[in-house]
Every structure is written in structure tokens, then in C-alpha cells.
Copies of this chain bind each other. A is one copy, B any other.
Amino acid sequence: MSILVVGSVAFDDLKTPSENATDVVGGAATYFALSAAHFTDVNIVAVVGDDFGEEHRKVFKGRSVDLAGLERAKGKTFRWGGEYSADLTERTTLFTELGVFESFQPVLPEHYKSSDLVFLANIHPSLQVDVMKQVQNPSLIGADTMNYWIERTPDELSAMLEGIDVLVINDEEARQLSGVHNLVEAAAKIREMGPKTLVIKRGEYGVLCFREGERFATVSFPLDTVIDPTGAGDSFAGGFMGYLATHKEPGDKEVRQAIVFGSVLGSFCVEALGTRRLEQLSRDEVHERYQAFKDLTDFASL
């Protein structure tokens, strides 16, 4: 089954303790698509400026990513600059230049409207709602959001939450959205806002998932070398949704396995700067690390 993702495609300037780079193709939709495409066909809806050329589209080369919905508008592509602390636990935004992203109005190409799954990456919740209106009866809608929208557009965010099946956010966002520190309590409150499934990303610590009568918790894959955390959360979402797309009616079991595949993609993402590792990643490597993840965490079926 195919996935539609709507979100940002951007140029990032990245400063990490080990490496720096400018004009790296990034953005949530980019990381999501590169990760989800290991499992299924991905349709991207995003906007770039006229500074985004053929050489930049190459990031998706060899992946089953449809770029018909990658609108090229007059102006500059969204740019973001970020710097990480020496231990990679803190990130400072150096600049944000919205460019053509500021007036982004997602319009779905006709053949995108029948996408089976939809992922609304972190954009204005009104635009997320707008995309939901354009798709025809998808089997599952997932979404992300951020502190900015939680603080400034609570009504629009509510409307979005009512329409989705799965919310994928980090622990700080879950706490802010619910107003509660304990994540079990926070999850109960958020699930009342709409999404039946809540996936809470905890960075290097793992993932918690709450569904009806069901909780799942897992770790993050421990890595010898972490270069650049940029895009890890979006790669997680891509792996998660991608795996779900391989099942007609995913139940608890498939949601758990999807979370592990998401974690696997997130773990690869951080091994190199920007999308470099994801661009080189093979399907075999994905499945090998899934097996390694199983070996890492199993204590029951040994």
C-alpha cells in the first residue's frame, strides 16, 4: 500500500561535534520518504524554491519516491541551521528562513488522492487538516506536531488531532500537549483528543506506545558512533508508517514491529551527517538490524 507524506523539504546547515556541512537536503518529508521507501511507494507533497535543482532531487534517486507533488515555487527553499552540543544532547537552532515554505498550500496531484496511508509531518495544523480533506478514505492517518503549534494554534491542532489515527511526537511534546509530566497519564489525556494510537519518541532512550488496552515500550538501538541526530525522529516515523503499509489491517503486533522498524531507521539515520547513511542504506541492512534489535532486547524466548 502506498503512503502519502506532506511536510518540509529543506536545505540544512549542520554543525555537529565531528562534522559540519551546508546546503544539505533535509526536512521532515525527506527523511520520512527515504525511510518509508524501504517498505512501500511514497508520494511526497512539499514545496521547494527555484534554488532546488536536479542535483538536489538526486537524494531520492533509486528509491520508490514519487516527486510529482514536490512543487517548485518562485523563491528560496526553506533553510534551517542547527548546532549540536559536544555530547549531542542539545540542539540550538541557528536560523530558520521559511522562504517558499511560508506560503505553502499543499495541493495533491490527482493520483496521490488514493494513497492508502497518510503521514502529516510537522507543518501548520490547518494545512494538515487541509490535506486530510483532499485524500479519499485512507486506511490510516498519522501525524507529527511540535511545541510551536501546541502553544500558538491549539484550536487548529485540536481539529487535526480529531481526524488522525496515530500521533507520533516526542516526550517533551507529549508533556506540553497534555500538561502532565507522567507519560502514562499524558498518554491517556492525548488519546482522548483523538488519536487512538500514541507513539512517544524518547530519542536515545527509546519509544513508548499507547493504544486501547495496550502498551508497548522499547529501547533505542545502542550505537558506537552517533554523528548527527538530525532527522532521526522523521526517519523513525518513516520506518514506522512504511512497515504498517505492508499490512492490510495492522493490529497490536504489527504496530509493535513497526515501532522497532522505525527505531531501526532512526538508528541508521544518526550514523552519518544528514541523509548520507539513509541514501546508502539497503533493505538487507534494515532487516539485519531488525534481527539485531530482537537479539538485543529478547529475554523471554531465549
Report yes or no: A223 in contact with B299, Cβ–Cβ below 8 A: no
- Looking at the complex, which of A4-12, A98-106, A120-128, A201-209 is the stretch in contact with chain B? A201-209
Q: Write the A184-227 contact mask toward B (1 if CB under 8 angstroms, else 0).
A: 11000000000000000010011010000001111101111110
Closest residue of chain B to A17, judged by CB?
Answer: B181
User: In the assembly, what is the distance between CA of A296 and CA of B226, in Å?
Assistant: 28
A87-B181, A224-B182 in contact; A205/B206 too (CB < 8 A)?
yes
Report yes or no: B225 in contact with A299, Cβ–Cβ below 8 A: no
Copies in the complex: 2
- Is A272 interfacial (CB 8 A cutoff)? no
Closest residue of chain B to A258, judged by CB?
Answer: B299
Whole-angstrom distance between the Cβ of A57 and the nearest chain B Cβ = 35
| CB < 8 Å neighbour of A300 from B182, B222, B298 | B298
Closest residue of chain B to A207, judged by CB?
Answer: B219
Q: Write the A289-300 contact mask toward B (1 if CB under 8 angstroms, else 0).
A: 000001011111
A184-B223, A184-B224 in contact; A296/B216 too (CB < 8 A)?
yes
Report yes or no: B256 in contact with A302, Cβ–Cβ below 8 A: yes
| CB < 8 Å neighbour of A182 from B225, B252, B257, B259 | B225
Residues of chain A at the chain B interface (Cβ within 8 Å): 86-87, 181-185, 202, 205-206, 208, 215-219, 221-226, 252-253, 256-257, 259-260, 294, 296-302
14 A/B residue pairs, CB under 8 Å, sorted by A: A87-B181, A182-B223, A182-B226, A183-B222, A184-B223, A185-B224, A202-B205, A217-B219, A217-B221, A253-B302, A256-B298, A257-B299, A259-B299, A294-B300
